Structure 1
Amino acid sequence: MNATNHETPDPDITVDGTGLLCVTLLLRLRKDIDGAEPGTVVHVVATDPAAPLDLPAWCHMTGHHYLGPVPNSADVPLYALRIAAGARPVRAGARMTREAEGSPHLGGLAVRSGGWSRRSAWRSG
């Protein structure tokens, strides 16, 4: 199940991120899936134009499985992910960088207030 497979499973949890931008959307997602069992399918309504980049990157950082966009009759921007066993937790207030979360390299992408930014090198700070 990925961006080319439109047979996305029905959701166990739906997160409404309508009107939320990058960081706020990811904080809402983290809160709403807290305690969800591995295998749980989550649909995320996300109107932020950066969501098609932010959600797969967040899944990559945390270890969850990004399933891709979900076609729907309401024609709302809808994306799916599956909760993974052993996913890396994202702590409240933690910076989403390789050092802070132990996440893999993302080609120089990092979350900073206001969205994703390119970084030439990973460093603390």
Structure 2
Amino acid sequence: MSRPTSAAGADLTVDGTGLLCVTLLLRLRQAIDGAAPGTLVHVVATDPAAPLDLPAWCHMTGHTYLGPVRGTDRAVYALRLAADAHPTRPDAPWRRAER
């Protein structure tokens, strides 16, 4: 189970305000492309499915889902990028890329 994390210290913030999770994952994948392992990412998400979709996406890719971020005035979720993450398709980041 994830624990809420602090609002301070994000290396990268992805703003998904107003986006459905499908579009949010497209934006997230693009934003983290080339980011270093260990990068702390905060994702702003207004889609009610985000608290379910983001942990599932992290589980599929191998990134670490850290949970909701405390001390913000909007819904923000944290994740840490893994060195050995499974790549996803650019056009469908909810699917693993063919190797």
**Runs of 5+ consecutive residues of structure 2 not aligned to the other structure:** none
Aligned residues: 97
TM-score (norm 2): 0.87
| CA drift at 1:10 | 1.1
Larger radius of gyration: 1
**Which residue pairs with 1:76 in the alignment?**
74
| Offset, 1:72 | 1.9
Distance (Å, rounded) in 1 between the aligned partners of 2:3 and 2:26: 27
Aligned to 2:83: 85
Amino acid in structure 1 at the alignment position of 2:21? C
**Aligned-pair Cα RMSD in Å:** 2.0
- Cα pair 1:63 1:84 within 8 Å, conserved: yes
Q: How many Å apart are 1:95 and its aligned residue?
A: 7.2
Q: Which runs of 5+ in 1 are unaligned?
A: 103-125
Identity, in percent, stands at 66
Secondary structure of the 1:31 match is: helix
Answer 1 or 2: higher relative contact order, Cα 8 Å, separation at least 6: 2
